[in-house]
Amino acid sequence: MVKEKLHQTRIYDKEGFRKRAACVCVRNDSESEVLLVTSSRSPDHWVVPGGGLEPHEDPESAASREALEEAGIRGQLGRCLGVFENSERKHRTFVYVFMVKEELPYWEEALKIGRRRKWFSVREAKHVLDLYRPLQTVYLNTLKACRS
């Protein structure tokens, strides 16, 4: 199902959950550091880059697009960490590991809305996500750094 909203189109699955994609962005194979971005709604809060799927877009393409739009990064999409459900907000988010190869000095959302990005250790990232987006801390539990 597709719903039009001012300046955006929202895609829903058969159960009425909004389809989203996100990236846990890492520097290297150890997955011990993650890149977070400031929230578009609250510039003092950090979040995992992600957003809604566009019409006829697969989750993998959406995740890479969101990483570029929100974090100004390019790289390689890796394994899927899972599909995470937020029943309160009616979202289902496909979450992928994204190996960062390039950090652009300027990107659209930094210029338009002042979005920032910052590298955190996994432990620090869990702490800052727990303050504002506790459901996103679950994404990090499947990283290599958390399994060792």
pLDDT score at 6? 47
Which pLDDT tens digit goes with each residue over 22-43? Answer: 999 999 999 999 999 999 999 9
Q: Choosing from 54, 57, 69, 124, which is the catalytic residue?
A: 69
Catalytic-residue membership of 69: yes
- Name which residue leads in pLDDT, 148 or 126: 126
DSSP state of 107: -
Domain ranges of the chain: 2-147
Q: Which residues pair with 3 in a beta bridge?
A: 10
SS percent in the chain: helix, strand, coil, step 5: 30, 40, 30
CATH superfamily of 2-147: Nucleoside Triphosphate Pyrophosphohydrolase (3.90.79.10)
Specify whether the CB–CB gap between 51 and 21 falls below 8 A.
yes
Whether the model clears a pTM of 0.85, i.e. scores above it, the answer is: yes
pLDDT score at 1? 53
Which pLDDT tens digit goes with each residue over 80-136? Answer: 999 999 999 999 999 999 999 999 999 999 999 999 999 999 999 999 999 999 999
pLDDT range class, residue 145, cuts 50, 70, 90: confident
Angle (nearest 5°) at CA 71 between 67 and 75: 50
